[in-house]
Amino acid sequence: MVPTSAQTPILKVNKMKKYFQQQSAYFGKTGNWLRAVDGVSFSIQAGETLGLVGESGCGKTTVGRTVIGLYQPTAGWVAYKGVNLARAKPSERLVYRRQMQMIFQDPYASLNPRMTVGDIIMEPLLIHHPGMGKNERMERVNELLNMVGLNPEHANRYPHEFSGGQRQRIGIARALAVEPELIVCDEPVSAVDVSIQAQIINMLEELQEELNLTYLIIAHDLAMVKHISDRVAVMYLGKIVELVDSEVLYHNPLHPYSRALLSAVPIADPDVERQRKRILLEGDLPSPVNPPPGCYFHTRCNRVLPICHEQEPELRELEKGHFVACHNV
């Protein structure tokens, strides 16, 4: 159940930007800036799951890494439980960072191959709970391994001894070690076998119910996002173009880009699938170093207006809880 909007959101992102300065192989840093995230705003209520979708290169992962503190925003701010993290004291910021954890996309690259599984899961405890005794830490590691469907005996093994799905479970156990309240899941199942993906998603849902977790799910699998998310934000070239409840988006998408994305999602009913019309986008995603003027999507849109070439649309609420950035809605 999604909490009411009257509550203070556990996470609020306001006009957040993240630019990266381009570098040349011969001349070092150049004057060009890559606009990975270009003015993103959203909020998440406690216990809610927000899905963040869009094609590769749109800035989804950069949003998650900036929210979690791996990147510092170029502009705008991130507030956790009403506290602007950029203005918080270092001691307070450490507490908030403990309550915000991340599950990374690649379970092969995110685990140190020279550490045992027990040491990997125990590391956050050593950082955030230095006074915890060794036996207590081991009990916590065994508890976490059981929680994600692994055996306590696995604590003495190394990451290379596990499959991709098992490694992702280890990454989830590490994220849960310090009892976070908000978890950013960056493509949590894209690097594991299809047969294991449903198990990971079901486990995340069970953990959310059991531990009262809040999720920001970053993904490109729209069918998975529909299954697990309460609301969905659609990103295009560093901007959010539509934000609405999951069911509403999948039944009534308003932005042309959202419609194109959803038209590519396969439907199990073959009769419905044959009658459905696929919306094909022409051209490639523009460069985030030199985005087009006006609406970023106008170079690929089949409903473009003259104003789209000149004026950037604002993300506005057209219906209750349904936000769209488009001149032609």
How high is the pLDDT of residue 274? 66
Q: How far apart are CA 165 and CA 110, in angstroms?
A: 13
Dig out the tokens for 208 from the structure: 């959310």
Architecture of domain 11-99+180-274+314-324: 3-Layer(aba) Sandwich (3.40)
How high is the pLDDT of residue 1? 37
How high is the pLDDT of residue 3? 42
Q: For 220, how many CA atoms within 13 A lie in the half-sphere containing its CB?
A: 13
Q: Is 270 exposed, middle or buried (0-12, 13-18, 19+ CB in 10 A)?
A: exposed
Q: How many CB atoms neighbour CB 149 within 10 A? A: 14
Given a cut of 50, the residues of the chain with pLDDT beneath it are: 1-5
In the chain, domain spans: 11-99+180-274+314-324, 113-178
Q: For 49, how many CA atoms within 13 A lie in the half-sphere containing its CB?
A: 24
Q: How far apart are CA 39 and CA 277, in angstroms?
A: 33
How high is the pLDDT of residue 6? 53
Q: How far apart are CA 171 and CA 177, in angstroms?
A: 10
State the Cα angle at 134 between 132 and 139, rounded to 5°.
90
Give all strands (DSSP E) within the chain, no chain letters: 11-24, 28-44, 49-53, 75-80, 83-84, 100-103, 182-186, 214-218, 231-236, 239-245, 316-319, 322-324
Q: Is 269 exposed, middle or buried (0-12, 13-18, 19+ CB in 10 A)?
A: exposed
CB 40 within 8 A of CB 270: no
Q: Shortest CA distance to 182 belongs to which of 6, 8, 4, 10?
A: 10
Q: Shortest CA distance to 167 belongs to which of 206, 229, 121, 124?
A: 121
Q: Shortest CA distance to 51 belongs to which of 197, 210, 250?
A: 250
Cα 306–chain centre separation: 34
Q: State whether residue 120 is helix, strand or coil.
A: helix
Q: What is the pLDDT of residues 114-164, one digit of tens each?
A: 999 999 999 999 988 888 999 999 999 999 999 999 999 999 999 999 998
CB 106 within 8 A of CB 188: no
Q: How far apart are CA 244 and CA 228, in angstroms?
A: 14
Tokens 């995230």 belong to 37
Q: For 259, how many CA atoms within 13 A lie in the half-sphere containing its CB?
A: 19
Q: How far apart are CA 303 and CA 191, in angstroms?
A: 35
